[in-house]
Structure 1
């Protein structure tokens, strides 16, 4: 079987474009991803049906069994989803979710406050984007439902805090990964006058998209600046339609469950608190073991850099489920009710698992096509240096959008950005790498095949394409003002001038949003 690379061909863009366009037009995510996968496989095998079938079988098998062993990352993530579904359903059956909603109605007086609380929780739970989206969604959903906030708005709140917070937090799975990449890049170019962590911290104010995505989220939530599809969903939610029921039950929903009348708020916060604490412990423990294996001293950043995120999520969820079961037994729920909740909770995660499996498959196909390398190659050539920060932002966004992975985009484009800067203006290396980080998060926010976007939909129990289409206008607004900031920064060489430009454009964007929202 001969596999053909398309690193030098625009044909490598065909599978993701087909999948994304079909998903938006048909709103059938699995079918669209499936078509994109088939086109990609046929391209790789030169349209040989036999070879295409063989390669696809290998790719699907690799989701579970890869390089002679279990694909532990995928299995742990899928296991975490199932366990979290069980925890959520059991909390619902116990009546704890309703008790929290009742508590919220007494202490949180407005829809605005419910959204602010969700945003604060999203910022506080910053250790990992998967964890953020799913756990904060489980906590906030009963409260946002009570105040008739659409599931699409909840998904936007989750997604626009998860990645932006993680990408600017050094003590997170994202931050540790980026710091490790930066360390390798600085060592390659012999840059010794700044440390890895110091370079990361210095890049935070240059990450325009992450900063202004968070800022825009605050204003949209606080002042209800709902435009486009989001406005339609919010209007429907006020009528009691939290999600589009004509499209079926969204992932993560447990609508078949009966809630007990004896629920307590602690039945929600104790299991989730144990889940958070246990996950953090396992992340630090696995990172410490990896450091010890390398005979390195323990450090917080080092532990997060080498931590096994997937297994930590899974074992943390096991601890959370164990505590939830103990509380359910103490509450004297019947074994039948407990078993029913566990079954329905696991089953509620199946739609998200199917989408994730298809997304992983197309990501693997796109990786073999070398779509990311083709996108990165577009940055080379005779582009004026002053334009490069903005160009890198756009290309990183398109790469993450096409491949569905911001981490993969980091790995491909950060070294390219550094090479370009070192070739002419070394002082612009950090701003250009920050533009790559910024663009990658933007592309990840817009992509229907991004795992973070998928899991934000799941955490909110929102139909996936509804989340993509409602978040897109806000993501594009922040992207446009970020491009303006990077253009000014590129021509002036001043980060302050770039930030100031973003601030001015942000005010203009708010005025436009307010005018549109009031029409």
Structure 2
């Protein structure tokens, strides 16, 4: 079956933007994604319904089978979601979540402390964005619920610390992959002034969006800077009581019964990432292990170990007859996220077939003043990640394009241009309702997905606007420090303007 080529047509963006627009307008994510997928396959098959059904079947099969072999990465993520749901449910049924929340209330004195605790946990769980969003959500949710922090605020903190920290850290699943890509580009274009790790560090220092998205989280947490619908949901949260609902059985748990399983979950996942990565190396190195690691297998292994630790630590705290109910409640809590994730993967495949990324990348062709190049690549990377829902896909498409353009126009801009792509990819990922990380942050916080998207968007756009000014400065001055300073000043001005508008 021959698919229609839309690589040079504006129609290539229709399925993605239709799904995004419908999701925001109707707030019905499953329906919106489903319509996007159907419209996409019909466009790809020239409007033939039978061919469309065949292609849709092929896309569904490709989630588990590709190139004549099982492709289990995506099923492993779904399995990890189920395992984490069971993990969290067992902690709830045993009273461990409530015990931790009670302990936190004695030691954390207010809502500010609860939010700052959640934000600071990223310095422990930065190894992978999926892992961070789900694991920290499970740890922090009882505490933020206790202090009546909205689930939307929790989801924002999870999402806006996950990808930014992972993209900045060389020892993470993101960092290792990006370093490997950079190494190939440096060889291709004979750039000898940087080592791959040196180039990555330089790019991280110029990744203004990721750096200031992290700073923004701490500003929001400390000063309760609530804008747009976040302010409304925060006010509503003060009248709610999630904890009473979660711990309906009223069991008395122990704090250690939460801390030990979470520590086991983190440690076993990290150990498995190191082990699976080391299998591909002749000489072991930490960075090499992270570059070659099997993240999804490691998450499943960590999830199994975490559940075993919960069972050992809560033995006797859950009635034998309640175990099946706890398992079912935990699995059921993840069904919505799993359905959204599967549809997001399908529309991502449609977007790939429509060649949306290739079309968007052609928009930068033509005569460009070198000083505008980082800004243009930041904006294009943001649009591409927003439309496709993937930072990694944007990296894969845009980093080679950015390197090629910089080498052709001004070789000294190669690092600023690649850093702009990384920043744009994270920015678009934050704003996109079909992004894996956005979906999993909603899941980790147990927050309505569209509530998370609409409340995070004003913060993301504020940081993006400041970053755009920074990348413009970087392009014309080639000073990373000056670009950083300009971004910081711009963000401070925007925050003051928005805060004054809220209090007016």
State how far apart, in whole Å, the 1-side matches of 2:80 and 2:369 are.
47
62-71 or 398-407: bigger deviation: 62-71
Q: How does 1:223-302 map to 2 (within 5 A)?
A: 223-240=223-240, 258-291=248-281, 296-302=282-288
Partners of 2:249 and 2:468 in 1: CA distance: 49
Alpha-carbon distance in 2 for matches of 1:105, 1:254? 15
Where 2:366 maps in the other structure, the secondary structure is coil
Give how far 1:370 is off. 0.9
Q: Which residue of 2 aligns with 1:246?
A: none
1:472 aligns with 2:462: no
Distance 2:377 2:261 in 1: 43
Deviation at 1:260, TM superposition (A): 4.7
Q: Which residue of 2 aligns with 1:245?
A: none
Deviation at 1:513, TM superposition (A): 3.0
In structure 2, what is the equivalent of residue 311 of structure 1?
A: 297
Equivalence for 1:194 = 194
CA separation of 1:258/1:338 partners in 2, compared to 1, >3 Å: closer, same or farther? farther
Deviations 1:256-295 (A, max 9, x none): 764453300111111111010000011000000022xxxx
Distance, in Å, in 2 between the alignment partners of 1:102 and 1:51 is 57
Distance 1:177 1:254 in 2: 43
Could you say which residue in structure 2 is the equivalent of 1:168? 168
How many residue pairs align between the two structures?
504
Q: Is the contact between residue 145 and residue 241 of structure 2 (CA under 8 Å) also seen in structure 1?
A: no
Partner residue in 1 for 2:13:
13
> After alignment, is 270-279 or 496-505 more displaced?
496-505
Structure 1 gap ranges (5+) = 243-252
1:508 to 471, 493, 504: 493
* Structure-2 change in CA distance of 1:50 and 1:257 (3 Å): farther
Confirm whether residue 487 of structure 1 aligns to residue 477 of structure 2: no
Q: 1:27 matched to which residue of 2? A: 27
Q: Which residue pairs with 1:94 in the alignment?
A: 94
Cα distance in structure 2, aligned partners of 1:241 and 1:280: 34
Q: Distance in 1 between matches of 2:319 and 2:244?
A: 18
Q: Do residues 328 (structure 1) and 306 (structure 2) align?
A: no
Shift of 1:299: 0.8
For residues 419-456 of structure 1, give each alpha carbon's deviation from its aligned partner in whole angstroms, at most 9, with x where no partner exists: 11111321110011000000000000000000000000
- CA apart distance, 1:217: 1.1
Computed over aligned residues only, the root mean square deviation of the Cα atoms, in angstroms, reads 1.4
Please say if residues 152 and 470 of structure 1, whose CA atoms lie closer than 8 Å, have aligned partners that are also in contact.
yes
Partners of 1:202 and 1:39 in 2: CA distance: 42
> Following TM superposition, by how much is the alpha carbon of 1:332 offset from its aligned partner in structure 2, in angstroms?
4.4
Provide the C-alpha distance between the structure 2 equivalents of 1:62 and 1:18, rounded to a whole number of angstroms.
Answer: 23
Shift of 1:303: 0.6
Give the TM-score of the pair, scaled to structure 1: 0.95
Contact 2:118 2:157 in 1 (8 A): yes
Supply the distance in 2 between the matched residues of 1:472 and 1:411 (Cα, whole angstroms): 24
Task: Give structure 2 stretches of 5+ with no counterpart.
Answer: none
8 A Cα contact 2:92 2:246, kept in partner? no
Shift of 1:190: 1.1
Q: Contact 2:94–2:317 at 8 Å: present in 1 too?
A: no
**Deviation of the 1:514 alpha carbon:** 2.4
Secondary structure of 1:333's counterpart equals coil
Corresponding residue SS for 2:409: coil
1:46 partner SS = coil
